Structure 1
Amino acid sequence: MASADLQSERDPNRNIDAFAAASPHPVLIMLLRLAGRVVAIVTTLLGLLFLTFSMGRLLPADPVLAITGAEVSKEVYDRVYRELGLDQPIWMQFLTYVRNVATGDLGRSTTTGQPILSDLLTIFPATIELALVAMVVGIVVGIPLGIIAAVRRGSIIDHVVRILALAGHSVPIFWTGLMALFIFYAKLRLVGASGRIDVFYEGLVTPVTGFLLIDSALEGQWEVFRNALSHIILPGSILGYYSVAYISRMSRSFMLEQLGQEYILTAKAKGLGRRQVVWRHAFRNIRVQLLTIMALTFGGLLEGAVLIETVFGWPGLGQYLTRGLQMNDMNVVMGAVLTIGAVFLTINMISDVLYRILDPRTR
């Protein structure tokens, strides 16, 4: 035993080789992490499916009456009840629901008479387009405002930004939408009316991407492009204002934290200008945090779009979900909620990948 210890002291590389041989191979580590990520994604999806399934079973809306109507005989009611599989045990109903969703079968809407997946593929691009416009407004306006407010802490600009952020978190979005529609459309006539486009321009552009602005630009239909822009600019700006409120507040908080660090004092001591200190050093260290905030903001925009689309008559997922709730169309409600949850999951996955790319410490 003593001779073995003496040999280890004389040959330290022997201990290193033994540790390297005992440690897992990098490929194995990568596979284990990938397997863990897949398990997490599958578990999250199953949880989301369980929530939407429970929603369809626990809400006081009768799926049979939604199909047959209130005045129906007991024989017809029982036949539809069995055709929907509601006579099966609840666990079997859930497995059937998971299998149907996996094959793209989300059921059929009793309101439109179309498959839910077909409806979602038609209307969801309108919601994404509205959310993207709002997101651009939030990023372009919110990040610079937050950083300027942090750099000029205690100034008038800082107080104005904080008040605007507070108002964005306090004022109901539907009230802001109604007031903006009254002022900018009814009184000033600066923007288009409700809807995505005027009736005169409907059907002139072939849907390729589903985004009306992009499709009209690709076809060179600039009249349609201007009309679509006049309709989206107001709801997109209002929705974007609420993202500006959140992004600017978080940008200010992150920047204030970085400006108090020692490396900022060192950079100033070396004679670097304010712009270099702020944008080259401090902003570089908050961009990863801002990435997470932007991902959460985009997911939140989908929630805010429900009210905005109702106010502006925007033919997107929010209006589709609202109509489904009003008509007790549970297949529509379940499909819309499942879509929003899947988008949240996708955004989180993308932000996690970008987080690892931008911050080597997390790899």
Structure 2
Amino acid sequence: MTPADIENPRGPRRARFGSSGLPRVMKRAAGFVFSLAITLFGLLLVTFLIARVVPLDPVLAVVGDRATQAQYEAAREAMGLDRPLPVQFVEYVGDVVTGDLGRSNLTSRPVTEDIRRAFPATLELATLATIIGVMLGIPAGVIGAVNQGRWPDHIIRVVGLLGYSMPVFWLGLVALLIFYGQLGWTAGPGRLDVSEQFTYELEVARRTGSVIIDSALSGAWDVFRNALAHVVLPAGVLGYFSMAYISRMTRSFMLEQLGQEYVTAARVKGVPEWRVVWVHALGNAMVPLITVIVLSYAGLLEGSVLTETVFAWPGLGLYITQALFAADFNAVLGGTLVIGAMFIVLNLLSDILYTIVDPRAR
């Protein structure tokens, strides 16, 4: 060791760390990009194969069942379905990479344009439902854990169990019957009333695709209130299911944290109970809970098909359902790819947030 090393021992260590740390970061980045590419490739392959094994004929959906055999063969050739499956898959991947998801037979528009119109509605609904689930589920889970075995815990567990047990389409129909049909507290199916839809189309600038946000930014308060009246019921139904899941996981994580030694030590030192529970225990429980919330959000994005169908919500789930009934496979595959890609992105986001909240995971 030289005198310079003795005077400044941190210098050589920094140099050694920098020379070895950079390849390690690059290796992790390369591994992440590779795993992401493999996942997306698997998603493309699965969606492509599902479209080919579904017992629906997309050619008949285009030409109709009264077309001649010559017309059928011509349409099949024009759609590229007469080629070998590997060739079709390579062409399909090439189109997706360039952003071409084909043209919808149902709307006669490019699928990317249809998805651009439908996805904001699904995003709006799932986001509001997740906010409801988080705001109600986390406090409910904490209260249940603190009162383990007592009546508040039993009530919260029963409410959560009902949320898991009842089918979402049945709950949506019952909610429509009671709150819209009988009580008249909320608006009916759809995103807007017909009259407000015209106002929205003519006077509201499309900035985000969310009717609530865009109408508020444009000052169209009648449209804003009408949009809230329509979204509160489907968002509440989905939010209830999200709350049931989040409260259950929060309770489980909190029970684990409340049994740790640091909680006992904080109580012995005289730390107020509310601070022990809501700051220390919940702060540590939030580390795995972030992943639960993000995955719940992803599940609402991909699992709101029945809710959108019941409430006639013009989102991506309803679009995929209608396309499937019409054997519009370009639209079905395009919507499935978008939902799958969102799920992958949200999984990545949960991993990033996990490492930010918990330094031990870095």
Structure 1 length as normaliser, TM-score?
0.92
* Cross-structure match for 2:274: 275
Are 1:64 and 1:80, in contact at CA under 8 Å, matched by a contact in 2? yes
Q: Describe the superposition over 1:169-214 as per-residue Cα deviations: whole angstroms up to 9, x where unpaired.
A: 1011111111110111111111011100001011242221000000
- Counterpart CA distance in 1 for 2:346 and 2:131 is 16
Change (3 A) 1:198 1:23: closer
Mapped pair 1:68 → 2:67: no
State the shift of 1:89 in Å: 2.0
Equivalent residue for 2:115, pick from 117, 120, 129: 120
Counterparts of 1:24 and 1:96, CA distance in 2? 43
Deviation sequence 1:30-75 (CA, Å, 0-9, x none): 0000000000000000000001100111111112112111111222
Query: Secondary structure of the equivalent of 1:244?
Result: helix
Match of 1:271, SS state, is: coil
Change (3 A) 1:149 1:22: closer
Name the residue aligned to 2:360.
361
In structure 2, distance between residues paired with 1:255 and 1:162: 14
**Equivalence for 1:344:** 343
Match of 2:216? 217
Seq. identity, %: 49
Q: 1:226 to 1:85 in 2, by over 3 A?
A: same
Q: Deviations over 1:208-227 (max 9, x none)?
A: 10000000000111111000
Aligned match of 1:264: 263
Give 1:11's aligned residue.
Answer: none
Q: Which 10-residue stretch deviates more, 209-218 or 337-346?
A: 337-346
* Separation of aligned partners in 1, 2:298 and 2:253: 21
| In structure 1, C-alpha distance between the alignment counterparts of 2:298 and 2:321, rounded to whole Å | 18
Residues 110 and 273 from structure 1, CA distance in 2 versus in 1: closer, same or farther, beyond 3 angstroms?
same
- Counterpart of 1:306, as a letter, is V
Residue 21 and residue 270 in structure 1: after superposition, are their counterparts in 2 closer, same or farther (change >3 A)?
A: closer
Tell me which stretches of 4 or more aligned residues in structure 1 moved more than 4 Å.
20-24
SS in 1 for 2:304: helix
Q: What amino acid sits opposite 1:88 in the alignment?
A: R
Match in the other structure for 2:170: 175
Amino acid at match of 2:228: L
When Rg is computed on C-alpha atoms for both structures, the one with the higher figure is 1
Secondary structure of the corresponding residue to residue 195 of structure 1: coil
Q: Deviations 1:119-143 (Å, cap 9, x if unpaired)?
A: 0000110010000110010000000
C-alpha root-mean-square deviation of aligned residues, in Å?
1.6
| Structure 2 residue matching 1:109: 3-state secondary structure | coil
- Tell me if 1:106 matches 2:105: no
**C-alpha spacing 1:33/1:69, structure 2 compared with 1 (3 Å):** same
Offset of 1:23 from its aligned partner?
Answer: 11
Q: Corresponding residue for 2:185?
A: 190
1:25 is paired with a residue of what secondary structure?
Answer: helix
What is the alpha-carbon distance in structure 1 between the residues aligned to residue 31 and residue 46 of structure 2? 23
Question: In structure 1, how many angstroms separate the alpha carbons of the residues matched to 2:18 and 2:315?
Answer: 53
Determine if contact 1:49/1:338 at 8 Å carries over to the other structure.
Answer: yes
Q: Which position in structure 2 is the counterpart of 1:199?
A: 194
Gaps of 5+ in 1: 1-16
The reply on whether 1:29 has 2:1 as its aligned counterpart is: no
* Alpha carbons 1:55, 1:334 under 8 Å: kept: no
Q: Give distance in 2, aligned partners of 1:303 and 1:354.
A: 21
2:107 partner SS: coil
| Paired residue type of 2:143 | I
Aligned position for 1:4: none
Shift of 1:327: 1.2
Contact 1:306 1:322 in 2 (8 A): yes
Equivalent in the alignment of 2:284: 285
How many equivalent residue pairs? 346
Q: Deviations over 1:220-239 (max 9, x none)?
A: 11111000000000110111
The answer on 1:45 being equivalent to 2:70 is no
> Matches of 1:288 and 1:235 in 2, distance apart?
29
1:96 aligns with one of 91, 101, 111? 91
Whether 1:136 aligns to 2:131 is: yes
On the 8 A contact 1:67/1:110 being kept in 2, the answer is yes
Aligned to 2:314: 315
Mark the runs of 5 or more structure 2 residues left unpaired by the alignment. 1-11
Secondary structure, in 3 states, of the residue corresponding to 1:197?
coil
Change (3 A) 1:279 1:327: same
Amino acid at match of 1:319: L
The letter of the residue matching 1:310 is T
SS at match of 2:103: coil
